[in-house]
Every structure is written in C-alpha cells, then in structure tokens.
Structure 1
C-alpha cells in the first residue's frame, strides 16, 4: 500500500468523523427552561424550546443558548456622592430573567453587563438627589427607581427585572464617627426626655392619689356628719314622739275618775323625794317661807317640772 493510499484513507476517515459529528450536532435536546436560537445560512431561523429537535446539517446552526430561569447578578460596589457632598460606597443585587430569547440574543451584546451598568448609573443619580441621612431611609425608593429604569428597556433587551436590592451603603470612617456621635447624642436626648416624662407622670400620679385621698376623706367626713345629723334627728323625733305619748297618757289618766287626786299624790311623792336631798352638803338651795304647806306649792307645778328639780342639783 502506497503512502498516497494511506493518506487518502486517513483523510476519508477524518471526513467521515466530521460528517458524523455534524449530523450529531444537528440533533438537539433542549433542557427545560432553556431556549436555543437557530440561524440558517447566517439569518435567524427559529427558537428551539424544551425537547428533541432535528436540524439540517451545514445549514442550520445553534448560535445562542439562553437560560430562562431567574438570575442573581452582583452589582459591584461603586462610589457615589450624596446631595450634601458625602462620598458613599454602594453595592447591590439584581434579579432578572430572560423573557424574549431573540431580543436577548440580538437586541444587545451582553444584557447582564448592560443591566448592571444601568443599575449603577441609576443608583448614582438617585443618591445624588438625597442627603446622607435619607440614603439609609430611602433604600426602597432607590431600588424601585432602578427597577423602573430597567423596565423601560425590557422589551428591547428581552429581559425582565424582578427586583433590585441594595446590600450595603458604606461611608468613610470620619463620617461613621460623626454619625456615631450623633446617634449617641440622640440616645442621650431620648433618655433625658424619657426620664423627665417618667418624673412628670410620677408627680401627676402622686397628685392624683393625694387628691383622691382628700376627696375620700372629705366624703367620709361628710357622710359621718350626715349620719350624726340623721341620728340626732331620729333621736329628737323619738323623744318628741315619746313625750307626746306620755302627755297623751297623762291626759287620759287625769280624765279618768280620781285621776286628778292620783296626779296630786304623785306630785306630792316627787316633792317629798326632792326634799329628801336637801340636807346634803353639796346642795345650796333657796327655800320657800313654809315648806310644809306643799299643797299650795305643788298646785302650780307639773310632774315634768318636779322631774327637772329632782335631776338637776342646786349649787
């Protein structure tokens, strides 16, 4: 076998292997959530979805493979200046996915890089409109603004930006120290205010307690006096009722036969009882001219008057 024949066989073998490889390349198995862009003779032909596909060798070619799943793209830290000329360093995370594989392939050379650059420029623009204190409070506003700006190019780039989250906002060490001093002063101010409010509330509670105590004491004293007055009134009423009953009984007794004689006898007994205590040393008395003639003495006295004479010592 000559060298030419050997060379020809080797070339034919290589060509056969090449043809086999090309035919194998024409058979495509596309995974789920992927899309393959096929060009025919250099022009866009079709988009292959998930499944098995057969292409024409040497005519059809898969030029782009797009992943349709949501991607997480790191936005590198960048220096920005706030409205009050403070330099901060901001980074974030971008979440997007391909919704139109054709535009994502032909609408822009690299949609990932373009989305990151647009997110960075939008972040710088938004931070430039805010003061330093507002940048820490307006993270949601900045994220929303980046999503809105990227939403304007979604159709052209064939992507959809789901959200953008700012991870860190770093400030220079000098600014951090100033902010720490400010936060310390703010906490001390709040502590003083809280302490003063506590003292004020305590004083108010004490005053309210003293007032309630004074009200309770005055109401108790008022109730005590009312009860005493009611007791006195009841006592006077009872005495008056008893006196009235006694008078009625005496009047009934006098109106009975021999009632006057019995009345005079009782008066004489009381008169004699009064005279029984005249000899005591502690009594100082003024006697009538004739104490033995008690008929004339008791003529004008009533039974109640003799009771008063008997109960009240003469001094």
Structure 2
C-alpha cells in the first residue's frame, strides 16, 4: 500500500479519536462541571454522560458538591475589655449553585475564610473575655447566621460554624488558673466544713440518743431492782414470821411435853426440892452470882408448888390429877391451814404485769439515727401489791 495513503488513514483515525474525546464528557457523582461555548457560559453538566460540541464547548471548572470542612488558622481578636484572644474556627459549608460559585467569586474558600474572620471580630468585639469563654454556642449561632446570609449569593450554604479553641494571653491564663485553684480550694474547704458539721451533728445526736436510752435502761433497772427488793423484803418478813411461829410452836409443844411428863411422873415435894437444890450450883456459876441465899419460906414454896400439881392423899403425898376439859381445843389441821397461808409465795398479778412491762422495755431494740423521739413506755408508777392475800400480809405491808 502507498505510504501516503497510510499516513492519511492514520491522520483520519486520530481526528476521529480526538473528535470523540471532545464530544463525550463524563461527570462523576457529587460533581458539577461548568460548560462554556466560545467563552460564554452555556450550561452546568450534571453527573453522568454529557455531549459537547467539539472545538466550541469546553469545561470551565469542576465544582465539588459535597459538604466541605475547612479549618482556618487562629485569628487574633480583641474583646470588649481590650484583651487579645486567639480563636480557631471550623466552617462546614456546601456548594449548592456551581455557576454562582464560579462566576460570582474568584475563590469561594478564601472568601469564606475572610468573611468568617471579620464576622468573628465583630461578634467577639461586643463581648467581654468571660462572656467569650462561656458563650461559645451564642457565637457559633451568630457566625452561622451572618455567613449563611452573605455566602448565599455565591451559591454556598453554611451548615455549621464551630470555635475550636479560645486562647487568652498567658498572663490572663495564669490569673484564671489561680482563680480556678482558689475556687476549688474554697469549695473543698466548704465541703470539708459541711462534712465536719454534719459529722458533729450526727455524733451529738447519737450521744444524745445513747444517753436517753441509757437513762431509760437505768430507770427500768432501778424499777426492777426496787420491785425485787420489795418482793425480797416481803418474802423475808413472811419467812421470819413463819420461822418465829414454828419456833414458838415447837417451844410450846416441848414445854407441853415436859409438863405432861412431869405430871405423869407424879413428883413428890421431896423430889422437887432435890431437883431444885441440884440446880442451885448452876445458877451460881456466873461471875455476878457469888452468894445465893435460900429464902426462909422455901419449904412452903415447894409445898405450894406440889399442891398445884395435885391433891394430898391419905399418906400426905400430893398426887397429880389432870384438870377437866371445859372447851374442846381446835384440831391441829385447822391451825396448820391458817398458818399455811404465811408460806404462800405466789406473785401478785399487778406486780407480775409491772415486771413483764419493764422487761419488755429493757429488751426493746435501740432506735437508729434519725429515728430519735420515739417514746419508750415505762411501767405504771405507784403499783402496790403483796405476794399473798392473807390479812397478815396486809398488816405487814401497812407496818
């Protein structure tokens, strides 16, 4: 084949390829392309396949339609109280109109940065340092409102504006740290004092409650001790009375037995005189009985004593004759029944009730802190009673 023809074929193929490349335009998603024809705005190519007129249409700019985050360097700002602070800002914005973003401003990112700086100075200039440090949300809201309004003609929508850092001067930082440290120490001292006060109050309340409960316990113990002493005294008195009665009864029976034995032996005056004379040395054994004088009518006394024992028989000896029973003596069982009441140690019902009430109070659980003020019932004062209902016990209690 002729070389000239080959060259011509290659040129034609190259022109076709260039023509196709100039005609077809592929736009990615979330991207817009501004198309110009012969230097004038023609249209905005949307994502996808777009056809152009070769050598007449061209792409002026490609614009990212996604939300962009731009962090601007720290900006020195003077507050209302003439203090210079350094503020870092972050702006979130999105291009909504690619044509305005290309033709209304040469560089919309630089425009947003400068507009943010000037707006920030205006907003912070009307606040003090303390308000600036504590009013970040208010500053963010004002900045977003101004920026969104001013950048709307550029085809940009400002979504958010955030203050990253607010750095006051080093001297102000030191003063603030000292103030914060003093505030923390003050709060710590206040909390310490509050804790000490609460602890003292709780301790005093506990001591007060313990003293009251101790007094109540001592009171109940004194009541029980007094009741026990009273019962013990009553029982001791009853025992002494019964003991005396039994002693006297024994002595009476012993005397009666001796007297009956003497009568049964039918002693003569000579025997009685002999026994009397035998007793005289024992009577003189004491230190104060050195001399004992026998009375002159001693024989007459013995004779009278013998007559009291009986009548004289024909031989002149007095014989004992038991006296006639004029009244029938009460049976021994009746006497024992009457005396048996002296040994009755059963407890009076009222006394038992008072003792049970005192024991219940003594066993009562001690109330917890914060429950102070509960009334502890005490047994009724003035309860009187005896362990027996016999008339003799009543006389003993009255005595």
Instruction: Give the TM-score taking structure 1 as reference length.
Output: 0.64
Tell me if the contact between 1:31 and 1:50 (Cα under 8 Å) persists in the aligned partners.
yes
Counterparts of 2:45 and 2:70, CA distance in 1: 26
Tell me the residue number matched to 2:288.
Answer: none
In structure 1, the residue matched to 2:100 is: 103
Q: Is 1:42 aligned to 2:39, yes or no?
A: yes
Partner of residue 120, structure 1: 117
Q: Is the 8 A contact 1:271 1:306 kept in 2?
A: no
Question: RMSD across aligned C-alpha pairs, in angstroms?
Answer: 4.0
Paired residue total = 244
Change in Cα spacing, 1:19 to 1:115, as seen in structure 2 (3 Å) is farther
Residue range with higher mean Cα deviation, 78-87 or 207-216: 207-216
Match of 1:181 in 2: 178
Residue in structure 1 matched with residue 313 of structure 2 by the alignment = none
CA, structure 1 residues 226+306, in 2 after alignment: closer, same or farther (shift >3 Å)?
Answer: closer
Q: d(CA) in 1 for partners of 2:122 and 2:223? A: 82
Mapping of residues 282-293 of structure 1, within 5 Å: none
Deviations 1:259-301 (A, max 9, x none): xxxxxxx9x948948x99xxxxxxxxxxxxxxxxxxxxxxxxx
Q: Pairwise mapping of residues 1-315 of structure 1 onto structure 2 (< 5 A)? A: 21=18, 23-221=20-218, 269=249, 272=252
Shift of 1:174: 1.9
Question: Structure 1: how far apart are the matches of 2:115 and 2:138?
Answer: 16
Structure 2 unmatched ranges of 5 or more:
1-6, 236-245, 257-337, 343-389
Distance 1:306 1:70 in 2: 114
Aligned partners of 2:57, 2:146: CA distance in 1, in Å?
37
Matches of 2:71 and 2:129, distance apart in 1 = 24
- Measure, in 2, the Cα distance between the counterparts of 1:89 and 1:19: 60
Higher mean displacement: 18-27 or 203-212: 18-27
Larger C-alpha radius of gyration, 1 or 2?
2
TM-score, normalized by length of structure 2?
0.52
1:48, CA displacement in angstroms?
Answer: 1.1
